[in-house]
Structure 1
Amino acid sequence: MIGGHRRFTPLQRLLHWLMAACILAMLFIGVGMVSTVMPKYLTLVSIHKPLGIAILALALIRLALRLRYGAPPLPADLPGPMKFAAQASHYAFYALMIGMPLIGWGMLSAAAYPVVLFGGWHLPAILPQSDSLHTLLWDAHFYLAFAFFALILLHVAGALFHALVRRDGVFETMASAVTYGEVAPAKQGRHEV
């Protein structure tokens, strides 16, 4: 892991904002899917499946980049509980960005439904057909979506807190068009995964 940088790499920032848009779209598509039985349902499903696989692929790339390049350090004067919350929330994000698509794929496999990507490409089943497993995974996918949405709200609140209240440069590490003054080296701590 390369240390000492003040911002995420351009590719890390691009993936962050691209995935933010994809994940928000996915959550709203999911809400639409569970709240309708009209013909729109099939359209939403046909978008939801490949978008979920795209999120999985992007999350794996993003995790590899995070492990390779690390993250800019958090301010050294950031209270310990806030540093812990930042680390824990990032672990939770990676777990959900990777876990939710895998749970969805497993759920469809257990129901013997195909996962069809754009262009008609079919993914193989990753679990055997099982009604009880399908139900378990459907419930997990459903409730974890609420947890994901709550985590996003906390993440946005934290970003705004750093940008508007603390003004400590944390927000700017991910804001691609913003530059800011360097934080003095004596005031830095490592911001890991």
Structure 2
Amino acid sequence: MSSSQPTPPPAPARYTVVARLLHWTMAVMVIAILFIGVFMVTSVADFNFLVTVHEPLGIAILIFVLVRIGWRRTHVPPPFPPGMGPLDRLAAIYSEKLLYALLLCQPLIGWAMVSASGQPIILFGSLHLPAIAPQNATLFANLLRAHIVAAYLLYLTFAAHLAGVLLHTIVIRDKVLDRMAFWSTPRSSRAAVQAERPVPSSRNSVDS
């Protein structure tokens, strides 16, 4: 009598192609703007040039965040890997929500800060954004402090998010990264790619 082999757990389903494109594009932009922020603090000679890159990049991140939230509200996210514990799931959900909140608020704070300084945010050539805050030195100083605090929180949250992904990918190896990856793995088959379908109005959380 032959013994039956245990059935391996199915590979985790993936996010839609659009969600994955938005995610990885935003990841590159966020890493770039974090490094630019560090260089702005440490480099006086290149400060003006870095500002001309930092400001439109921040607005681009704001647009991408809004698009990603809108996309998530109309598409079903893939489930977490079966072996992922409840505490890990809660940590992943709330760290992602914090990350999105910071990526949404930080560009708005920066936009208001520049407006309070009396300068426009120049996107390209003569194209610039309207002011969203009155010109005021005290308001500018308060917004600058808020922008710095939010930047530190963004650094820490992004680092925690990256550390969690690396832990699950290298140590736990539960294929959590497969949900957002474009590459194939030996156990990634038809079940690894979910067809896009509308999501009920009650599923409105933000993706990773």
Which residue does 2:72 correspond to in 1? 66
Does the 8 A contact of 1:50 with 1:116 survive in 2?
Answer: yes
Distance 2:104 2:182 in 1: 24
What corresponds to 1:186 in structure 2?
A: none
Does structure 1 residue 34 correspond to structure 2 residue 48?
no
Partner in structure 1 of residue 184 of structure 2: 178
Aligned counterparts, 1:67-146, within 5 A: 67-146=73-152
Cα distance in 1 for residues equivalent to 2:85 and 2:28: 30
- Matched letter for residue 31 of structure 1: V
Which of 27, 32, 46 pairs up with 1:20? 27
Deviation for aligned residue 1:137: 1.1
Contact 1:71 1:191 in 2 (8 A): no
Deviations 1:16-71 (A, max 9, x none): 11111111110111111122222x11100000111111111111101111111142
Supply the AA of the counterpart residue of 1:66: R
Q: Which runs of 5+ in 1 are unaligned?
A: 184-189
Q: Shift of the alpha carbon at 1:85?
A: 0.6
Specify the SS of the correspondent of 1:116: strand
* Equivalence for 1:187: none
TM-fit CA distance, 1:178: 2.9
How far the C-alpha of 1:138 sits from its partner, in A, is 0.7
RMSD: 2.0
Instruction: Give the distance between the partners of 1:20 and 1:100, measured in 2 at CA.
Output: 15
Distance in 2 between the 1:191 and 1:168 partners? 25
Query: Displacement, 1:147?
Result: 1.2
Q: Write the distance in 1 (CA, Å) between the matches of 2:149 and 2:142.
A: 11
- Matched to 1:106, the amino acid is A
> Could you tell me whether the CA contact under 8 Å between 1:73 and 1:191 is conserved in 2?
no
Distance 1:75 1:174 in 2: 12
SS in structure 2 of the partner of residue 71 of structure 1: coil
User: Given residue 111 of structure 2, which amino acid in structure 1 is its aligned partner?
Assistant: W
Identity of aligned residues (%): 43
Determine the C-alpha separation between the residues in 2 that align with 1:126 and 1:173: 38
Counterpart of 2:14 in structure 1 is 7
Contact 1:29 1:48 in 2 (8 A): yes
SS in 2 for 1:117: strand
Find the structure with the greater CA-based Rg: 2
**Distance (whole Å) between structure 2 residues aligned to residue 85 and residue 119 of structure 1:** 43
TM-score w.r.t. the length of structure 2 is 0.81
User: Is the aligned partner of 1:152 residue 2:161?
Assistant: no
- Per-residue CA shift, 1:155-180, capped at 9, x if unaligned? 11111122122222211101112344
Q: Are positions 1:50 and 2:56 aligned together?
A: yes
Question: Whose helix proportion is higher, 1 or 2?
Answer: 1
Tell me, what secondary structure is at the counterpart of 1:140? Answer: helix
Aligned residues: 182
Larger deviation, residues 162-171 vs 23-32:
162-171
